[in-house]
Structure 1
Amino acid sequence: MTTSKFTFADLEQWFKERRVTEIECLVPDLTGVARGKILPRERFTEDRGMRLPEAVVAMGVTGEFPEVGPYYDVISPTDQDMHLRPDPTTVRIVPWATDPTAQIIHDCFDQHGKLIPFAPRSVLRRVCELYAAEGWQPVVAPELEFYLVARNPDPDIPLKPPVGRSGRAETSRQAYSIDAVNEFDPLFEDVYAYCEQMGLNVDTLIHEIGAGQMEINFFHDDPLKLADEVFFFKRTLREAAMRHDMFATFMAKPIANEPGSAMHVHQSVVSASTGKNIFSNEDGSPSQEFFWYIGGLQKYIPAAMALFAPYVNSYRRLSRNTAAPINIQWGTDNRTVGIRSPVASPSARRVENRVIGADANPYVALAATLACGYLGIKNRIAPSPECKGDAYLGDYQLPRSLGEALDLLRNEKDLAEVLGESFITVYTEVKEIEYAEFMKVISPWEREHLLLHV
């Protein structure tokens, strides 16, 4: 397990002990895809860094870039390089590699040594630094849902649950079923073995509601460290699944008529000087900061939805009575709301953001939810009264489409100030071209219902 004190000297010793011959130099892009280069160990040791075009971290999920517009007010049209520096604390072995191979995440800098402001890891660093300036340390714990599906090379064919050890695929809901998880024991044995080799602090594995839908929980820790672990885990699970002749997907809504997949994020804030949870008073009651944090989430989540639900598919998940929230109500131990406060001791008092999709970039999602809470505390935003009933009986309070969400994000100046205006510009411009690409596709629904009827 790596620590914040892990140095380059330690890194060289780490390579030597594991006889590493190759290094995967990774940079998470806006989508969460691992970009970068693979270097021989000797070359990595000599250079201890590399360069990539700055637009590499600022492309859409289809690999496209905007051709004109505000995007090029931030990113040079001359395609300048960014300088990459490895973060020694992120080094992990690549368990599935044939030769001893390490993977290490890099931060992106410009030629003057400043962090590239639109790189996802830079955005999360920026928000954490705002907390540090107040004497606070945010703590997060993601719960990541995903589907196992049968291998499917044809995007025109709907996805289906995979066949398990019994030789049968799931056809019914199996929430929390131990036996249903055990159907995929060979896969999960590999996943846990890989995670152990990589030092990923994964906790509980459960079967979620959908057919073939699972959830993995992470232990609470520092936001940047947890974002790195989610980034690594997604890559690990996909690789392990393919080795067992199936796919693992973090799409928000991969299968019609099945629940969507979320990344619920538990979050709290502790005092850097005392180590105490600022969400609780000395007598154990909830503090004003606790309520202001919730107020910030309620005020800014609608504008942050393009960050929490980044694709057209994301909004298929957020519908009434599908185990996903439709509004920004809050409540104690209430899973129908968008903002839940689990029952916990005063020292563990926390807030759970249930709006975020499994398809969200973990760096961007954690930065955005922490930004909402930060603004709530700083601006002393009072929350609405607690929802003590079924929040699905209330009105929709979230944007219903990516286009609507992008408009809200562009117009929210407070979030832009915290996350960085250049990041918001690049992100929204990239999402616009993704949306334009989607609109070129004619769906089966349109052919079925419109072809001969309109």
Structure 2
Amino acid sequence: MSQPTQLAALAGQAGTRFILALFVDLNGKPCAKLVPVEAVDELAAEGVGFAGYAVGAMGQEPKDPDLVAIPDPASFTPIPFVKEGLALVHCDPHVNGKPWPFAPRNILKVLIARAGDAGFEPWVGAEVEYFLVKHAADGALVPADDADTAPQPCYDARSVTRMYDHLASVSTAINQLGWGNYANDHEDGSGQFEQNFKYAEALTTCDRVVTLRYLLNVMAAERDMIATFMPKPFADKTGSGLHLHLSLTSGGVAAFPAPSTEDDRRLDLSATACSFIAGILEHACAIQAVIGPTVNSYKRTGAVATTSGASWAPRFPTYGGNDRTHYIRVPDNNRIELRGGDGSANPYLAVAVALAAGLDGIKRCADPGDVGSGPTREGLPATLLHAIERLETDDVVTGALDAAIEPDSGIPSVAAYFADLKRAEFWDWHSAVSPWEHTHYLTAF
């Protein structure tokens, strides 16, 4: 079945009236046009055009030609629980007929292909943590649930019950989509929640993270709440992570468990898994610029403690068993959990750089060091600026961001563009005068 016929058939089966043709920029901003089903054939065959500079962080200037979003029918997602007759399809931006290398989904697709060239198929599970908040009468940001004030609210049954309508509607939506929601819980901060779904192929999971963020935003707004993925919206509360569970298969066989013939094994992991871990740990400081891409991110990883007693965020690139204090947790011998990422991370870029680093470790047969430690004793970057400096000197991570650039295309480095973007973000924040400065300096001298 051709792509136009396939997309039209899917829309017809779902009773779709309008399709959101959606993609994200480098910052993870969801961008879309609303396409009537009467134009589905044109959408599938020709895509839909966007002024790239107006989109945001997509490597374009006002003079550049259109970004043309080409839909991927495999990602077609009916969302009638948002609006009757509405569906969503993830798209791959193109310019002049070629995949645009600044598009995060295009970057990840290249890294998945590279993993395939190395003999592996990557699988990903994602934990999407978020806060439900509102503005109080005085304008202050507070948890949406006025009664959610306990110092240790994690897993509190009463808090979950008070948010039953929201959590149940999101859970029902996830299950209607076939993602397999298996738990919904109150996390460690007041107003913080997590709703889990089953793992899948890397691209599928990243599409689902983007879709879920969109759904959480619009469904929370219907109840006059704000769903935020900001890493650290409250200074005294736990931050929100985007924890990634990563695994590889090879020819359909799991590559991470140690075979029974392998004597020297750590945590019952194969040599492949150990080298994959080592690669991520060795490149962790550069990876942080991508999986912790905001100024606010470093208030999460830099936190010592919160009102609950723990930050649940790693400070050093180490690995361990079923131990949530490490950068990489190994809950079992089938997967690893990368815990350094936060809610502001672009899922496509986060998985792309983790894959690149892990594959580099496998290529070099890298050693992760002893369990409970890692190949390096340095701490994670203290600020976004420090992380960007590490990114710029790491050929593996910058190479991952530049992965979709064709040789001799004349297209500039995505990694350099991303670094400049984030450096400017840091200095914009640094230049702002905060209430903290008024409190400490206004009458101090």
Same fold by TM-score greater than 0.5? yes
Instruction: Note the C-alpha offset of 1:98.
Output: 4.2
8 Å contact kept, 1:92–1:199: no
8 Å contact kept, 2:167–2:184: no
* Correspondent of 2:275 among 243, 268, 292: 292
Instruction: Note the C-alpha offset of 1:274.
Output: 4.4
- For 1:310, what is the secondary structure of its paired residue? coil
8 Å contact kept, 1:162–1:170: no
* Correspondent of 2:388 among 406, 410, 416: 406
8 Å contact kept, 1:118–1:426: no
Give the 5 Å matches for 1:17-416.
17-48=13-44, 49-56=47-54, 58-59=56-57, 75=60, 78-111=63-96, 113-151=97-135, 157-163=139-145, 168-271=147-250, 273-283=251-261, 285-319=268-302, 320-321=304-305, 322-342=311-331, 344=332, 346=333, 349-387=334-372, 397-416=379-398
How many residues end up aligned between the 2 structures? 422
Structure 2: how far apart are the matches of 1:7 and 1:199?
22
Structure 1: how far apart are the matches of 2:64 and 2:175?
39
* Correspondent of 1:431 among 415, 422, 425: 422
Q: Deviations over 1:326-372 (max 9, x none)?
A: 00111111211111111x2x5xx221111111211111111111121
Letter in 2 for 1:114: K
Which one scores higher on RCO, CA 8 angstroms, separation ≥ 6?
1
- For 2:244, what is the secondary structure of its paired residue? strand
Q: CA RMSD in A?
A: 2.4
- For 1:439, what is the secondary structure of its paired residue? helix
Structure 1: how far apart are the matches of 2:287 and 2:231?
17
Unaligned runs of 5+ in 1: 61-70
User: Structure 2 vs 1, CA of residues 57 and 133 (structure 1 numbering), >3 Å: closer, same or farther?
Assistant: farther
Structure 2: how far apart are the matches of 1:362 and 1:263?
8
Structure 2: how far apart are the matches of 1:404 and 1:32?
21
User: Structure 2 vs 1, CA of residues 229 and 6 (structure 1 numbering), >3 Å: closer, same or farther?
Assistant: farther
Instruction: Note the C-alpha offset of 1:387.
Output: 1.2
Letter in 2 for 1:442: V
Instruction: Note the C-alpha offset of 1:56.
Output: 5.0
Unaligned runs of 5+ in 2: 263-267, 306-310, 404-412
Instruction: Note the C-alpha offset of 1:97.
Output: 4.5
Structure 2: how far apart are the matches of 1:57 and 1:283?
53
2:410 is aligned to none
Instruction: Note the C-alpha offset of 1:416.
Output: 2.0
Instruction: Note the C-alpha offset of 1:96.
Output: 4.4
TM-score by structure 1 length?
A: 0.86
User: Structure 2 vs 1, CA of residues 361 and 282 (structure 1 numbering), >3 Å: closer, same or farther?
Assistant: same
User: Structure 2 vs 1, CA of residues 121 and 153 (structure 1 numbering), >3 Å: closer, same or farther?
Assistant: farther
Structure 1: how far apart are the matches of 2:175 and 2:269?
37
User: Structure 2 vs 1, CA of residues 83 and 324 (structure 1 numbering), >3 Å: closer, same or farther?
Assistant: same
8 Å contact kept, 1:35–1:56: no
Q: Kindly, what percent of the aligned residue pairs are identical?
A: 29
Letter in 2 for 1:38: L
8 Å contact kept, 2:356–2:396: no
Letter in 1 for 2:29: V
User: Structure 2 vs 1, CA of residues 31 and 443 (structure 1 numbering), >3 Å: closer, same or farther?
Assistant: same
8 Å contact kept, 1:30–1:57: no
Asked whether 1:417 is paired with 2:396, we answer no
Structure 1: how far apart are the matches of 2:391 and 2:136?
35
Instruction: Note the C-alpha offset of 1:403.
Output: 0.8
Structure 2: how far apart are the matches of 1:411 and 1:333?
32
